[in-house]
Amino acid sequence: MPYLRQIFRVAAVLAATVVAVALLSWSLHALGPRSPWFALLVVWLPMTWLGTISHIAPPRLPAWYHALRGFERDGRVYEWLGVRLCKRLLRRGPLAVFNPALRLPAAPGPANLARLEQSMRDAEASHAILLVLTLAVVVHAAARGWWAAAAWTLLFDILVNGYPVMLQRYNRALLRRRFAAAAPPG
């Protein structure tokens, strides 16, 4: 039975990858590399792809990456950058369906808080990886002299990946302040 489960996981990752690549290829040819719509899709499609496969194989980054820096612990920098608006949009809007696991548990004991923290780290890792990878698309567009495409892609990358990274870091700091005795170390 574990063998069949493993085959299913590999097949699901391959299927999601084929669909994402096909949609990216179609959007490139249908919309063109300079289109703002293509810029949105070149950010959105990999994010939905990684979000889908992360349920099967969550990407993980080293613990040192997730360590909160001194300037992050009180949250003021992220608040100044507008992360509270991002949080409101992601909690109350249609985008709330994308990560239902990122909610404060009804019983915030140490085990539940540790699970929530890991879910936050996984979401942060996915967005951080895509934030960096998408910068290659921005650099490629700029190198070709497609300044509008580079600007659109960078804007969408910041909105779709950068703000969720900041939001997870902000929320983890908030979680630590709120539940200092029960929050996992790190």
pLDDT on residue 33:
93
pLDDT at residue 20, rounded to an integer:
94
| CA–CA dist 165, 4 (Å, integer) | 34
Q: What is the pTM of this model?
A: 0.85
Scan for tokens 């302040």, then name that residue. 177
- Residue 91 confidence (pLDDT): 77
Our CA dihedral for 42, 14, 95, 185, rounded to 10 degrees, sits at -100
**Cα angle at 153 between 54 and 138, to 5 degrees?**
95
CA distances from 8 to 12, 13, 21, 51, 73 (A): 6, 9, 20, 17, 41
Extract the tokens encoding 105: 């548990």
- C-alpha to C-alpha distance for 176 and 184, rounded to whole angstroms: 8
pLDDT tens for the 186 residues of the chain, in order: 688 888 888 898 899 999 999 999 999 999 999 999 999 999 999 999 998 898 888 899 999 999 999 999 898 999 999 999 888 887 776 766 666 666 677 677 888 888 888 989 999 999 999 999 999 999 999 999 999 999 999 999 999 999 999 999 999 998 888 887 555 555
If DSSP codes are grouped into helix, strand and coil, which group holds residue 30? helix
Neighbours of 38 (CB within 10 A): 22
Confidence (pLDDT) at 90: 78
Which of 68-76's residues contact partners 24+ apart within 8 Å by CB, and which partners? 68/169, 68/172, 68/173, 68/176, 72/169, 72/170, 72/173, 73/173, 73/176, 73/177, 74/173, 75/170, 75/173, 75/174
